[in-house]
Structure 1
Amino acid sequence: MQIRISTRHGNISEQTRSKIIAKVERLTRLFDRLTEIEVTIDLEHRDNPDVDLRASAEHKHDFVATSKGGELIASIDEVVHKLEQQLRKYKERIQTRHRVAAGREEEEEEVAPDSETAGS
């Protein structure tokens, strides 16, 4: 998995960059099918940085979270939290679909013999 950090209108220190990478890597524990994570930090307004986080997963699924204003590390935490919520919701939806599909097959098998005996 690739992690890219880019900045606009300024630079961030290596220490801040390593903190951001550590926070963003937590997302892979939640959803292991992530292929790329891109963090964009806009420092046009030094006191209110804009942070965009885009995570790409297999099968062309993109997850995006944005935070504007506040301190840089607090904005990173907020964006990571938003993306965690999106990933949890997506993962739950996928798991629910598979459970429902398996349940429907079982119901169809049970219902089919009953309808044949009722018609005879």
Structure 2
Amino acid sequence: MQTNLTMRHGHLSEETQERILAKTEKLPRHFERLSSIELIVDLQDASKPQVELLVSSEHKHDFVSHVQSDNLLTAVEQVVHKMEQQLRKYKERTIEKHRDPEVKRLPTEQPDE
């Protein structure tokens, strides 16, 4: 899986970049078929950084979430949380779509005594 971190209108220290990327590493736990993660941090307004998270998965499914907050790390946590919710909801929807409600557990056969 490919992970990219892009900064607009500013620069972040290596330590901050590593902390941000570490937060995105837990996304594949919610949906296994992710092909790329791109995190865009816009520092144009330093008092309210804007964070955008773009996630691509197999079969052309793209997910996007945006957050603007007073603190950069808070914004990253919020955008990752939003993405986790989207991925969880999508995964449940695909499971329900392929599940047949008519098929239930088959009764186990009892041997005649």
Q: Is TM > 0.5 for Structure 1 vs Structure 2?
A: yes
Task: For structure 2, list consecutive stretches of 5 or more residues without a partner in the other structure.
Answer: 104-113
The code of the aligned residue for 1:11 comes to H
Is residue 2:40 matched to residue 1:40?
Answer: yes
Aligned residue in 2 for 1:116: none
Higher Rg of the two aligned structures: 1
Task: For structure 1, list consecutive stretches of 5 or more residues without a partner in the other structure.
Answer: 107-120
Aligned residue in 1 for 2:72: 72
Compare 12-21 and 74-83 and name the one that shifted more.
12-21
Separation in 1, partners of 2:55, 2:20: 14
Length-normalised TM-score, structure 2: 0.88
Separation in 1, partners of 2:97, 2:44: 43
Aligned residue in 1 for 2:106: none
The number of residues matched between the two structures is: 104
CA apart distance, 1:64? 0.4
Q: Secondary structure at the match of 2:26?
A: helix
The code of the aligned residue for 2:98 comes to H
Q: Percent of counterpart pairs with the same letter?
A: 48
**1:29-61 per-position Cα deviation (integer Å, ceiling 9, x unaligned):** 111100000000000011110100000000000
CA apart distance, 1:69? 2.5
Aligned residue in 2 for 1:24: 24
* Divergent runs of 4+, >3 A: none
Aligned residue in 1 for 2:51: 51
CA apart distance, 1:79? 0.1
Greater helix share, structure number: 1
Length-normalised TM-score, structure 1: 0.83
